[in-house]
Structure 1
Amino acid sequence: MAYANYTRATAVVVVEELTASSLLGKHGVLLAEVLGRISTLTRDEAFALSVALQPQSREVYSNAWKKWLTKVDGNSVYLGASQEDTLQIRVGHEVSPVGYALSLVSSMILNRGQVVNGPAAITVDEEGEIELQSPWSGAATALMHATMAYGAPDLLTLEDAVVLKFPWDTVMKEPTGS
């Protein structure tokens, strides 16, 4: 229907296999490794990722967003705001420094939390918004930070990259890019 903002599908035909880089940017192979681990994430790993978050990581993540916004739209109304929980900001055809990878992380961790913990993984607030509960909320943050660090290293200093990667590299493993 013309007014629907979705398409219902009952089958798909694979037309072409695309590389991780074509879907997730020039560092897509690394991001594919991070994304690939979400479907097997355990509650213990989610908890460990949450605990390993560094105190300054939200600010570092927000600053990476601001650097990207400055590059793609130096007049963005979002430059003055914190971007510590941001998944997307549409600027022309771009939505983030790592394409749709951050939204994909968010969706995948929401699904994984519900598979592992059932309804206890989420709450629904008074406005109907779904919120992840601990440890899944912290794991989502850690995974978004790893995605930014591995997918957009040009936006980070070496020290900032270490901060964002720390939970992933400590709990999971550093992606090999192979």
Structure 2
Amino acid sequence: MSTDWSIAFKPILDLHSKAIFAAGSSSVGKPVVRKIRRALLAAQDEQEEPIALPTSLKKAIKEYYAKSLKDKEEADKREAASRQREPSFYKKPLSEWDVAQKLFKQEIDSYDKAQQQSKGLEYSIKYRTGNAREWFNNMTPSQQQEVKFAMKKWNEEGAPEETQAIYSSLTLWLEIS
């Protein structure tokens, strides 16, 4: 039931999510919840065939945003952990495929192993790229969004600052010698 109402009223929830994500706290304040609740009830009244809202709407709103914040934090942690340190990785603009391989390495590995086991194949690198490409083509919309965000960020920022500093000081030292 919770997914039905959250999908139907996603535009309203997305409109208010910007303010909640900007605050960055996992607890949603009473005034914000009250405002969202009023907007949802008004939108429900305008519908010809009203979609049933949860009986405890305030609690459902808080749970929805808590889950969204948790998902966003997990995505940020995954992006930070999988960010490449070598400057050579950033020489060419990164594609979605490059970024997905770095962000979701564990998921791709487990998918590959499961596919090879289900087909009764001995683990072989020969099938890995095909299985990885198959996983990539079947990514969920949230995974695709995460990949696009990381790709844009990595292409704009390049290598992490500490790596750039080490690389530039090493280059300077080599030029002096």
Normalising by structure 1, what TM-score? 0.29
Q: Which protein has the larger Cα radius of gyration, Structure 1 or Structure 2?
A: 2
For CA contacts below 8 A with separation 6 or more, give which structure has more relative contact order. 1
Normalising by structure 2, what TM-score? 0.29
